[in-house]
Structure 1
C-alpha cells in the first residue's frame, strides 16, 4: 500500500483533491492511503507516509522538504497547478505513484 500525503496552506483544498484521488484509486485498483494536512500539521504524520505532494501554493517548501524527507526514504514533489485547479485526482495519483517508484 502506498501512503500519500498532500500538503497545502490550510489542508482544505487538498482535502477535496484527496476525495478525487481516492475515487481514482478505486477505479484503477490501486491500494493507497491518501490524506491531506496543513503545512503546519503535517509534521505529526510525516513518519506515516511514502510520498509527500505539495500544493502549488506551498511549492516554495520543496527544497526544504526534500532535504528533510528524502533521506528518510520519503519521495517529495509538487502537484501540477493545472491538475490541482481542475481537481484531477487521477493525474495527481499517477504523479504520486511515479514519485514513489523512484529512488530517493
Structure 2
C-alpha cells in the first residue's frame, strides 16, 4: 500500500481533494492511503510516506518541506494550481504516482 500526504496550512483545504483522489484510486484499484495534514504536522506524519504533495497556497514553503522530505527520502512537490483549483483527483493522483515511481524525474 502506498501512502500519499497532501499538505496545506491547516490540513483542511485539501480534504475535498483527498476524497476525490481516494475515489479515483479505488476506481482504478490502486492500493493507497491518502491523508491531508497541516504543514506543521508533516514531520510526525512522514513515516511510511511515498509522496508528499503541497497545496499551491503553501508553495512558498517548498524548499523547507523538501529538505524535511529529502531527509526522510520521500519525494515532494507542489500540486499544479489548475488541478488543485478544479479538484481533479485523478490528475493529482497520477502526479503522486509518477513521483514515487520516478522520484528523480
Q: TM-score, normalised by structure 1?
A: 0.92
Specify the alignment match of 2:63 in structure 1: 63
Q: Is 1:82 aligned with 2:77?
A: no
Which residue is 1:31 aligned to? 31
The runs of 5 or more residues in structure 1 that have no matched partner are none
Per-residue deviation, residues 31-82 of structure 1 (Å, max 9, x unmatched) = 1110001112222211231100000001111122222212422010110111
State how far apart, in whole Å, the 1-side matches of 2:22 and 2:34 are: 7
Aligned residues: 104
Please state which structure has a larger fraction of its residues in helix: 1
Partner of residue 73, structure 1: 73
SS at match of 1:48: coil
Any unmatched runs of 5+ in structure 2? none
Q: Please identify runs of 4+ aligned residues in structure 1 that moved more than 3 A.
A: none
Matched, 1:8 2:5: no
Measured in 2, the distance between the counterparts of 1:4 and 1:55 equals: 13
Structure 1 distance, partners of 2:7, 2:78, is 9
Superposition CA RMSD, Å: 1.2
Q: How far apart are the structure 1 equivalents of 2:14 and 2:48? A: 18
